[in-house]
């Protein structure tokens, strides 16, 4: 299948490469002249045959809004626009309605996999009309590992699922961080990397995140090269606000979010652990000591 990819950063570039390895033809556009393959969004659309499919992987908020608006002005009825970034689900519902009025189909795709997605695949949570989903399913099947993609509901559902996914991620990171903080504070001279490796063999807390903890601790046993400063990228806040709006108790997720705020005022081992894990799975920027 032939596809346009807008945004060739860490995620977009990995997705484009995985698709090419799967024999799809990908034409990429990025504002960075060093990596773009075409000079403009207009040129990108002109290089595709209708009905066209364009996947957008740019930062959420204003960059996504501006990109989709420009694409909407260039696209034709029957074209499919896909937002694979971390957009707010309410924005995706609105965008789907606006594009539908022009005859343009829209899919919101919650995308998880980080910098590892190129090799192991991206988990894809898709919202939107079934006909659009089926039209681009060959692309989805190539990007995802086996059973790693699904149409989860109508417009907005994909990004809603990804929002909650990231809220859960906050809580899991916080639990590991607090546990390893307690381990390193004990009177025993514990090898944290050894324990992470041990727990990954049969324990009930084994996970990919724990494998990444093992990897991070192997490189820096005390995480002394990192500052305990942890950003939040938006989805955690949205998840907590959604819980408040719906009257759902999300104590752990709220605590994990607020600890990230606290991390900007102190330097603790637990926050260094979260910074290390985020860097391992997503290539998120860290601050060095």
Among the listed residues 70, 147, 162, 214, the single catalytic one is 162
Residue 128 makes CB contacts below 8 A (sequence gap 6+) with 96, 105, 106, 107, 108, 151, 154, 155, 158
Q: Where are the beta strands (DSSP E) in 160-215?
A: none
Cα separation, 248 vs 230, in Å, equals 25
pLDDT of 226 reads: 84
Q: Give residue 77's pLDDT.
A: 98
Question: β-strand 123-127 against 80-83: which pairing, if any?
Answer: unpaired
Rounded distance, CA 241 to CA 151, Å? 25
What does the alpha-carbon distance between residue 89 and residue 2 come to, in Å, rounded to a whole number? Answer: 27
pTM of the model: 0.91
Instruction: Indicate whether 150 pLDDT > 70.
Output: yes
Q: What is the distance between the alpha carbons of residues 190 and 172, in angstroms, rounded to a whole number?
A: 22
| 61-118 pLDDT tens trace | 999 999 999 999 999 999 999 999 999 999 999 999 999 999 999 999 999 998 889 9
Active-site annotation holder among 2, 137, 147, 169: 169
CA distance 44 to 288: 39
Which SS3 state, helix, strand or coil, does residue 60 take? coil
- Chain mean pLDDT for the chain: 94
Is residue 284's pLDDT more than 90?
no
What confidence score (pLDDT) does residue 122 get?
97
Amino acid 61: pLDDT:
93
Q: Provide the CB-side half-sphere exposure for 66 (13 A, CA).
A: 7
pLDDT exceeds 80 at position 287:
no
Find tokens 């995802």 and name the residue. Answer: 144
End-to-end distance of the chain based on CA atoms, in angstroms?
46
The yes-or-no answer on residue 169 being catalytic is yes
């Amino acid at each position: 299948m032939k596809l346009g990819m807008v945004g060739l950063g860490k995620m977009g570039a990995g997705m484009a490469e995985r698709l090419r390895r799967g024999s799809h033809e990908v034409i990429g556009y990025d504002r960075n002249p060093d990596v773009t393959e075409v000079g403009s969004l207009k040129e990108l659309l002109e290089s595709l045959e209708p009905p066209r499919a364009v996947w957008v992987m740019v930062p959420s908020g204003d960059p996504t809004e501006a990109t989709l608006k420009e694409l909407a002005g260039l696209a034709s009825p029957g074209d499919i626009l896909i937002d694979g970034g971390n957009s707010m689900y309410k924005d995706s519902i609105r965008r789907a309605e606006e594009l539908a009025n022009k005859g343009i189909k829209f899919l919101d795709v919650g995308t998880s996999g980080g910098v590892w997605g190129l090799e192991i695949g991206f988990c894809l949570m898709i919202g939107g009309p079934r006909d659009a989903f089926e039209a681009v399913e060959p692309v989805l099947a190539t990007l995802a590992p086996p059973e790693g993609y699904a149409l989860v509901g109508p417009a907005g559902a994909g990004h809603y699922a990804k929002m909650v996914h990231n809220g859960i991620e906050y809580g899991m990171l916080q639990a590991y961080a607090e546990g390893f903080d307690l381990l390193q504070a004990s009177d025993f001279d514990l090898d944290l990397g050894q324990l992470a490796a041990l727990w990954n063999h049969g324990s009930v807390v084994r996970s990919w995140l724990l494998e990444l903890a093992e990897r991070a601790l192997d490189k820096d046993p005390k995480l002394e090269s990192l500052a305990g400063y942890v950003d939040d990228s938006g989805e955690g806040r949205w998840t907590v606000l959604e819980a408040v709006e719906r009257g759902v108790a999300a104590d752990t997720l709220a605590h994990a979010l607020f600890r990230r705020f606290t991390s900007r005022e102190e330097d603790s081992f637990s926050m260094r652990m979260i910074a290390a894990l985020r860097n391992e799975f997503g290539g998120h920027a860290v601050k060095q000591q």
